[in-house]
Amino acid sequence: MSDLSHVLVLAGGLSYEREVSLRSGRRVSEVLRATGIDVETRDTDASLVPAVLADRPDAVFVTLHGGAGEDGAIRSVLELLGVPYVGADPDACRVAFDKPTAKAVVRSVGLRTPDSVTLPKETFHDLGASAVLTRIVDHLGLPLFVKPARGGSALGASFVRTAEELPAAMVGCFAYGDTALIERYVDGVEVSVSVVDLGEGPVALPPVEIVPDEGVYDYAARYTAGHTEFFAPARLSPKASAACAEMAVTAHTALGLRDVSRTDLIVDADGLPHFLEVNVAPGMTETSLLPMAVEAAGQDLGVLCRTLLERAAHRSAIPNPSTPRP
């Protein structure tokens, strides 16, 4: 029997990933209720802080994707309120949410990650887009993968096969952020590895292999049933699977993450994984990868979410500023 009497699931927000977040929040709320937990689901608006102060939850499960949900902002507010929550603290979120920074951190601990260039929109405006794009192709080669430096759900991301496709990819990227990450494309098997810590240190769940119908795992392929085929566990050799698990746990640890994360990788023809990015608030929808990994591991998603909340509730929360100190 759980000692959680009341938990709060945060979903929605104002990022481009609002609809996905709402779906994640509904799923988490449903599986928690199935385990007997009293769950309240709230959006992040002006009513949130007064509601939390009036009816303090035992713990919060953050299912906000993109923006404030993953950049540490909402978690900072929860800490100001003295409310424990599942997931990484604000400082770790800020590092992990910025893809170029996260790549630099994991590379510093020896992980393999594709060569890349990170440039803000102003650089192309000031120096001339044509000249800069030509140097990018000369330096990184083709094909390339372009994506916003911050954000998720593949919004603004493009696979670039030729130099002629690069300008349009940059325009699409800048529609979702002011800074672009341009990576050398690594051909191979796309894999996602979820990491959970239920009290005995971070452990990798079975890797999930992603095979989109159109070849690119874009927004539609991620969230439209039937557009992508998944294999859980991934169809990898035992050695490659172990390497993926080790990379995901190492990234989780190096970035200072907590409770749960999901690392996206490409496994090349030699069976070597390459780090792409990490997610501090993995999707929890019916087509999301973490729930697939949980099922492949023979675990129950509701029980896992409840355990994460129980661990969060038992952590020492930052003292509420309104509480007099002894």
- What residues have CB less than 8 Å from 218, skipping those under 6 apart? 154, 157, 212
Report which of 248, 277, 255 is spatially closest to residue 153, judged by C-alpha positions.
Answer: 277
> Active site residue: 71, 89, 197, 277, which one?
277
Looking at the DSSP bridge assignments, the partners of residue 187 are none
Residue 17 bears catalytic tag: yes
Residue 279 bears catalytic tag: yes
Residue 66 CA from chain centroid, whole number: 8
Residue 56 bears catalytic tag: no
> Active site residue: 21, 24, 116, 153, which one?
153
Residue 58 bears catalytic tag: no
Q: Give the separation between CA 53 and CA 67, rounded to whole angstroms.
A: 24
Residue 237 bears catalytic tag: no
Classified as helix, coil or strand, 235 is coil
Burial of 27-51, coded b for 16+ CB within 10 Å and e otherwise, reads bbbebbeebebebebbbbeeebeee
Residue 315 bears catalytic tag: no
> Active site residue: 264, 288, 302, 310, which one?
264
Residue 283 bears catalytic tag: yes
> Active site residue: 13, 17, 98, 185, which one?
17
Element at 222 (helix H, strand E): helix 219-223
> Active site residue: 262, 288, 306, 310, which one?
262
Element at 99 (helix H, strand E): helix 99-108
> Active site residue: 152, 283, 302, 310, which one?
283
- Tallying the residues shown for the chain, one arrives at 326
Asked whether the beta carbons of 71 and 94 are under 8 A apart, the reply is yes
- Amino acid sitting at position 80: L
> Active site residue: 66, 223, 261, 310, which one?
223
Cβ atoms within 10 Å of 161's Cβ, excluding its own: 12
Q: Give the separation between CA 220 and CA 210, rounded to whole angstroms.
A: 13
Active site amino acids? 17, 153, 223, 262, 264, 277, 279, 283
